Structure 1
Amino acid sequence: DADGESPHPQPGLDRLGELVEPLRAAGLKVAVRREGIDSAGPLPAGVDLSAYRIVQEALTNTLRHAGAGHAQVTVRASSGVLELEVLDDGRGAARTGNGAGRGVAGMRERAAMLGGTLDAGTRPGGGFRVHARLPLRGAR
């Protein structure tokens, strides 16, 4: 586009259904839970896009690297914070056990740009967990 704007809108959490469909078609059983998100009002654009991208990366990692059969995505808005949790039943982080790959680093950077946090690592008993907290107040 000559004005530097994309003709396609940036994705947000309202498009989680579109995000998980190809993963389901590839054999990953994905459950999505939304808690308080619909009553939180419109999310700041940066939070909405970053939240979508964090979930996208976490699920992509699950499909590509974890050998998982199931994943659960929880999106929760409460007390001025958007929380994202992606759990899977796969092998967890193969080498380090703490999710120190580039994808995890990118998710952490996205969260930090918004003043949030992201923790990722192997779950006790197996699988992997990505948990992000993104502030809604003061976000652009």
Structure 2
Amino acid sequence: MREAGLPVTLRVDGRPGPMEERVALTVYRIVEEALTNALKHAGTATALVRLTFADGSLAVEVTDTGRGPGPTPDRIGHGLVGMRERVALYGGILRTGPRPGGGFRVYARIPLEPVGVVLA
């Protein structure tokens, strides 16, 4: 994304541990889609990707400093729908929307099950 013109900062809080491949792919796709949307729609902006590991869950937050949603903010694109579906598969939550003062925010929280544990 940096090479495409979107300066991005990554911040990791907490201690990452083992994660199911499918959950890791979901996190990757959320970040990828959020940054792609920022690159397409934010104009001149910067982005912050923040991963927070705490209390048996992973919070993924992608924010940008761009111009925010266009004149039709109620329109939900396919990418946001796909994010919501992916997060729901793991019992997580997704929140998206404009940020106060400009820009856009994508926030997901996904519960992390211990890898290798079989639930009865």
Q: Same fold (TM over 0.5)?
A: yes
Contact 1:85 1:130 in 2 (8 A): yes
In structure 2, how many angstroms separate the alpha carbons of the residues matched to 1:50 and 1:81?
14
In structure 1, how many angstroms separate the alpha carbons of the residues matched to 2:87 and 2:54?
17
Shift of 1:74: 0.1
In structure 1, how many angstroms separate the alpha carbons of the residues matched to 2:31 and 2:74?
18
Q: How many residues get paired?
A: 116
Gaps of 5+ in 2: none
In structure 1, how many angstroms separate the alpha carbons of the residues matched to 2:111 and 2:75?
23
* One-letter identity of the residue aligned with 1:24: R
Q: What is the DSSP-based 3-state SS (H/G/I as helix, E as strand, rest coil) of the residue aligned with 2:2?
A: helix
* One-letter identity of the residue aligned with 2:5: G
Change (3 A) 1:68 1:86: farther
What is the TM-score when the length of structure 2 is the normalising length? 0.88
- The equivalent residue for 1:17 is none
Once the two structures are superposed, residues 48-87 of structure 1 have per-residue CA deviations (whole angstroms, 9 ceiling, x without a partner) of 1100110000000000122142000001110011000000
Counterpart mapping for 1:5-44 below 5 A: 23-36=1-14, 39-44=15-20
Runs of 4+ in 1 over 2 A off after TM superposition: 95-99, 137-140
Selected match of 2:55 from 73, 76, 79: 79
Change (3 A) 1:103 1:59: same
What is the TM-score when the length of structure 1 is the normalising length? 0.76
Once the two structures are superposed, residues 14-49 of structure 1 have per-residue CA deviations (whole angstroms, 9 ceiling, x without a partner) of xxxxxxxxx11122110000112xx33211212111
Selected match of 1:94 from 40, 47, 70: 70
* One-letter identity of the residue aligned with 2:46: H
Q: Which has the higher helix share?
A: 1
- The equivalent residue for 1:69 is 45
Gaps of 5+ in 1: 1-22
Q: Give the superposed CA RMSD.
A: 1.8
